[in-house]
């Protein structure tokens, strides 16, 4: 029951109406017996500063931050975690007496979600599509998973070059290359890699017939294809890859792990989901996506 002691949490973004975070975080509240409520707030960029000033006054404990505010939130915070200082993006804000504390949990979510496939990453050559905010977090995760080489393919090639430079200078990754997502010999790069990761929004609802590659023929059994998208659960990229024998994974587990990490920051706990609860939550989220 909500009462005057109920702790308030939320997610801010624009748009935010399709976010699964309210269903997921309110499931956590119930599961971990927290007297809290989590809502979604559509905040225009012009109102971000006012929102972040007002939230602690209103008694908010914490907020998740999604597009387009991840960068601005990191800049606005009073204190930033080492990861936020490194990546310059924040997805979790905590309101404390001394100011706003910023964290990022996407890289952790990616690593935790890899689970049983972790061994595939050690020494692997990875081809990552996209060079936006999530690509930066995934690159950080990849640097911790011990891959041997990373190629970043992006529509705006200069952003791929910039991210490659970031990986070399800040993540101590030595073998990093940048190419256009429309590279005439993309098949060669696919063939060289054993892990393909989509961090672009290509294939995301509602334009579900898109994919980061046009030709799927060079994808095969040796590939592990990870699509950060979770709506739809089976993207065209995953579907075409699986048809050719690849092992595929969507972004739903990553979403759950990054969300749980945010809750653990706000509550100073180490909450974990057992396999039954994890699957129950996934079914709940599947239903939301339908
Ligand atoms: P972002 O910072 O806006 O980056 C978007 C990326 O997609 C850029 O690389 C952009 O390329 C590319 N892109 C967009 N439209 C394109 C098009 N028509 N053709 C080619 N490339 C295109 O967004 P983000 O935060 O990285 O999020 C990207 C995706 O990851 C979204 O689908 C999001 O839902 C998903 N995501 C999932 C999780 C999870 O927990 N599973 C977490 C974060 C994000 P340019 O640079 O050329 O514009």
Domain architecture of the chain: domains with CATH: 7-104+253-289 (3.40.50.10860), 108-250 (3.40.50.720)
Q: What is the pLDDT of residue 65?
A: 97
Q: What is the pLDDT of residue 44?
A: 98
Q: Are strands 99-103 and 92-96 parallel, antiparallel or unpaired?
A: antiparallel
Q: How far, in Å, is the centroid of ligand 1 from the Cα of 265?
A: 25
Q: How far, in Å, is the centroid of ligand 1 from the Cα of 109?
A: 16
Helix (H) or strand (E) holding 237: helix 236-243
Residue 290 has pLDDT above 90, yes or no: no
Choose the catalytic residue: 7, 30, 53, 70.
Answer: 70
Ligand 1 pocket by Cβ (under 6 Å) = 67, 106, 109, 130-135, 154-156, 159, 181, 199-202, 204, 228-230, 251, 254-255, 258
Mutate to test the pocket of ligand 1, among 199, 249, 282 (most ligand atoms within 8 A of CB): 199
Residue 1 has pLDDT above 90, yes or no: no
Q: How far, in Å, is the centroid of ligand 1 from the Cα of 134?
A: 7
Q: How far, in Å, is the centroid of ligand 1 from the Cα of 56?
A: 30
**Distance of alpha carbon 231 from its chain centroid, rounded?**
13
The first and second tokens of residue 43, run together, are 């905040």
Q: What is the pLDDT of residue 115?
A: 93
Q: In a 10 Å sphere around its CB, with 0-12 CB exposed, 13-18 middle and 19+ buried, how is residue 89 labelled?
A: buried
Give, rounded to a whole angstrom, the gap between the first and last alpha carbons of the chain. 28
Give the ligand 1 atom nearest the CA of 201: 32
Mutate to test the pocket of ligand 1, among 21, 200, 227 (most ligand atoms within 8 A of CB): 200
Rounded to an integer, the average pLDDT of 241-270 is 98
Nearest partner of 247 among 268, 273, 223, 271, judged by Cα: 223
**Which residue has the least CA distance to atom 6 on ligand 1?**
200
Give the ligand 1 atom nearest the CA of 109: 40
Residue 4 has pLDDT above 90, yes or no: yes
**Which residue has the least CA distance to atom 20 on ligand 1?**
155
Task: Look up 96 and say whether it is catalytic.
Answer: no
Residue 137 has pLDDT above 90, yes or no: yes
Nearest partner of 48 among 13, 18, 5, judged by Cα: 13
Residue 223 has pLDDT above 80, yes or no: yes
Q: What is the pLDDT of residue 129?
A: 98
Q: Are strands 92-96 and 79-80 parallel, antiparallel or unpaired?
A: unpaired
What mean pLDDT is reported for the chain? 97
């Amino acid at each position: 029951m909500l009462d005057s002691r109920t702790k308030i949490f939320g997610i801010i973004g624009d748009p935010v109406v399709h976010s699964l975070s309210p269903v997921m975080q309110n499931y956590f509240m119930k599961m971990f017996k927290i007297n809290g409520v989590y809502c979604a707030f559509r905040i225009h960029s012009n109102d971000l500063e006012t929102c972040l000033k007002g939230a602690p006054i209103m008694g908010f404990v914490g907020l998740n931050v999604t597009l387009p505010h991840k960068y601005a939130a990191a800049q606005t915070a009073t204190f930033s975690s080492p990861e936020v200082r490194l990546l310059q993006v924040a997805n979790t804000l905590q309101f404390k007496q001394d100011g706003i504390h910023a964290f990022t949990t996407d890289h952790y979510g990616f690593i935790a979600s890899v689970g049983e496939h972790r061994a595939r990453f050690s020494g692997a050559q990875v081809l990552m599509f996209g060079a936006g905010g999530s690509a930066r977090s995934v690159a950080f995760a990849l640097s911790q998973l011990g891959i041997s080489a990373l190629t970043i393919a992006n529509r705006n090639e200069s952003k791929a070059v910039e991210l490659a430079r970031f990986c070399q200078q800040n993540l101590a990754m030595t073998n990093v290359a940048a190419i256009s997502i429309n590279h005439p010999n993309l098949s060669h790069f696919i063939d060289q890699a054993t892990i393909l990761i989509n961090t672009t929004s290509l294939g995301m609802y509602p334009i579900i017939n898109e994919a980061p590659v046009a030709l799927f023929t060079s994808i095969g059994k040796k590939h592990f294809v990870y699509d950060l998208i979770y709506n739809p659960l089976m993207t065209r990229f995953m579907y075409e890859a699986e048809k050719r024998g690849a092992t595929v994974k969507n972004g739903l587990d990553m979403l759950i792990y990054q969300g749980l990490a945010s809750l653990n920051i706000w509550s100073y706990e180490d909450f974990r989901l057992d396999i039954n609860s994890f699957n129950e939550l996934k079914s709940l989220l599947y239903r939301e996506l339908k």
